[in-house]
Chains A and B, each alone.
Chain A
Amino acid sequence: MLQAVTEPRSETADAVRESHLAGFRCMLRARLLDDKMAALYRAGKIHGGVFLGRGQEALSAATGWSLAKTDIFAPLIRDTAGRLAFGEPVLDAVRTYLGSAHGPMRGRDGNVHRGNPRAGLLPMISHLGAMVSVVNGMLFARRLKRVTGTVGAACLGDGATSTGAFHEALNQAAVEKLPLVLVVANNQYAYSTPTSRQFACADLADKAAGYGVEAHGVDGTDLTACLATMARAVGRARAGGGPQLVVAQLLRLCGHGEHDDASYIDPRQKDSPLGRDCLKVAREYLLGQGWVQPGLLDGWRDEAVREIEEAVAQAQREPAPDPFAEEWTALSTEHLIEGQE
C-alpha cells in the first residue's frame, strides 16, 4: 500500500531549474484557479465562502513540491498551490467549491475543507491547529508499521500559533521526534487581527527553541528562498532531525475570504517588500535566469485556463447532492445506527 522512501531531490543546477519551473507552474495554476473561484463567487455561483491564497503561492507551492507523493500533507485555507504541487486534481477543488455530488466531499463539506486521507492529503477542520496532531498520528502510525522515510507537513497561519492545539502538537512531535514539518505563513493578519494582537515575541521562529525543534525563517515572497528552505526542512525531517518549524514572512494580498475587503490592512505594508506579489517576483526571476521565454509562460497560462474552464464546465454539469439519496448517518458500522437492525 505504502511505497518506499523517495530520495530527497538533489540540488544540482538542473534540479534547481526544474523545481523553479514546476513550482512556478503550480503557483500560476493556483492563482488562476483562485481567480476563477472568486469570479464564480461574485457571480453568485458558489454557495459558502471562497478563500484565496493570493500572496502565499510561493511558500505553498514550495511546500507541496518538497514532499513526495507518499508523504502526508495537511494544507490550510490558502494552499491551492501546495495542493496542486502535491497532486490534488483541479477538478477536486472545483467540484468541492461548486458542490458537485461527485466531488471528494460529496457536498458534505465545502471549499477548502477537502482532501483525500488515503492519498495522504488531509481535509482540514475549521479549528486551527487541530490538524497538526493528526499528522503526528499518521507519522507515529507509520513508524509503528515500520514504514520509513515519510515526512508530514502541516500548514498554519500566524493566528494558529496562538492555539493550544499548536502548542500541544508541536511539543508532542518533539517528544516523539516525529518527521513533522510545520509551515507557518505569517501573513501579518489572522482575519482582521494584526500580529501585534496575536503574539509578543520578536519572531515566531524563536518559538522553535522552546520546543527543542529546528527553525527556518524564510522570505515568503521569494520562490527561490521558499524552495531552498522547504527542501532543507523536509530533508532534515526525513533524515531523522525531528520536527522542523518553518516561518515565512509575507502579506496576504486578499481578504480573509472573498466576503472580506481587507480594508484593515495597513497600506504601508502593501508598499513594503512584504507586499510584493510572489507570482510576479517568480516570473521575473525565471525570465531573468533565461530559463523560460514569455511565450512559454503564456502557453502555460492558456493551458491552465483551459484546464480550469473544463473542470468548471464538468462540475457544473454534474448533479448536486440529493437529500433523498443521502445516507443520513455519521457511522460506518451499520448495525450501530439507531433505528436500524
Chain B
Amino acid sequence: MSITFKENEVKEVKFEKKTSEEIGLKLGKIKIKNAKFGEKSEILNRTLIINLEELRSLLLEDKNLKDVDVKIARPGESKRIIPIKDVIEPRVKVSGSGKIFPGFFEKSETVGIGNGITHVLEGVAVVTSGRIVNFQEGLIYMNGPGACYSPFSKTNNVVIVCTPVNGMDKHTHERTVRLAGLKAANYLGQLGKDIEPDENEFYEYLPFPKNNSSYSLIPRVVFVHMLLSQGLLHDTYVYGIDAKGILPTIISPTELMDGAIVSGNCAAPCHKHTTYHQLNNPIVEELYKRHKKDLYFVGVVLINERTDWSSIELASSYAVNLVKLMDAQGAIITEDGGGNPETILMALCKKLEKEGIKTVLVTDEYAGRDGASQGLADVTVEADAVVTNGNANQLVTLPPMDETIGELDTIDIITGGHNGSLKSDGSIEMEIAGIMGSTCELGYSNLTTRLR
C-alpha cells in the first residue's frame, strides 16, 4: 500500500530561525582588582566588598558546619593557604535559562546553550579550606617562588575555612565543603548581576555543520573531556549527577561556562580539574579561537574515569561512537588525575586512531624528582602527539610567609609533601604535586618538560 498526499495538504512552514552566530552565550567579564571586607556586600569601583557576617550566616545554615571563617588572600601578599579542596570562580546568570551550577540548587533547568548572558567576577576565586578531608588537598602561595606555579596565586582569593561538626564522616565532610564553596561563589556572583562588564565575549552555539556549508571543508574537531570519577572523594558532578554513573555524553561547551561540571574530588592538587578550571576550560577557549578558521569545533564529549577494565572498555568505545556520530576528524583528549586514568586516555587514543580520527593527548608526568623515570603509568604507540604540562615530582623549597590560612602541619601528609616537609624556620620543602593547578592537564598554564 502506498500513501499519497494531496498537494494542498502540504503546507510550507516558515521558521524565523536565527543563525548560529546569533545564538550562544555572552560572557560579561567584570575585572575585579581587589577584595576586602565591609559593611555591605557589593562591587564598588571594581573592588569586591564582602559583609563577612552575612556570608558566614548563609553558609552556617548548613547544620553540618560547626563554624565557618572567611579570609581574603590577595596576589603579592605574604600569605599561603593550605589544605585546599577546590577553587571556584563566582558567576551569575543575568539572562537565559537555569542558574550557575545547575543540578545543585536548581534541579530542573539546563543552562547556556541558547541565548543567554552570564556575568563573571574575573580575578576572584572562592577557595575552600579548613580541616583536611583527605590527603590530596593542595596549597597556594600568594607570593615568592611558589606563586609562579599556580594560577590561583594571581586571583583575589576568598578563602572559606570550614570546620565540620564533630565526628563527621569523610564523605559527608566532602559534600559539605563542596556545597559551601558553591554557595559562597553564587553569593558573590550575584553581586555582579547589575554591573556593566568591562569586556564581553561571545561564544556561539555549535550546531553540527551542514554537509553543504562552507565549513564542510575544514576539519571537524571534538574535545573529549575525561572526568575523574573513581569513587567517593574522587568524583566529578555533571548537572549535579555523580559522573561515575554516566555513559559518555555530548555537552555544549557553553554549558561548562555556566557550571554544568563541578569538582568533588580530593585528587592530586597539581592536576585535578578544579571547578574553576571547569568553568574556564582552556581547551574550549583555544578551540573557539580557531573555530571556523582552521577547524570547526563540533562540541564536547564527556567521559568518566571508572577504575575497572570492563567499564573502561565500554566507556571508551561508547565515547568513540559519539565522536564518530559527530563526524569528527580530530579529537583533543584531556586526562583528569593520573595513574589509572592513563589506561582510559590510551584506550581512547588507540580506538580513535583506529577509526582514522587524529588525536592529541593532554597530560602531565610523574617522572621522579630527577626526571629520569618514565612519567606515565600506561602508554600506547598510537600516542604520537602528546602535550605535557610538567613533571609533578619536581622538588621546590618555599619560604615562610607572614600568614598561613588553614592548617600548616597538614603539609607533612598531603600529596607533594612528606614527613619533614615543614622546616623549623617555617619554610616548606615539597614536590610541586602539592601546589594547586601546577601541572593542570587541561593545559591551563605554560609549564611543560623538555628532555635534557
Q: Do A and B bind each other?
A: no
- The chain B residues found within 8 Å of chain A, CB to CB, are none
Q: Residues of A at under 8 Å CB distance from B?
A: none
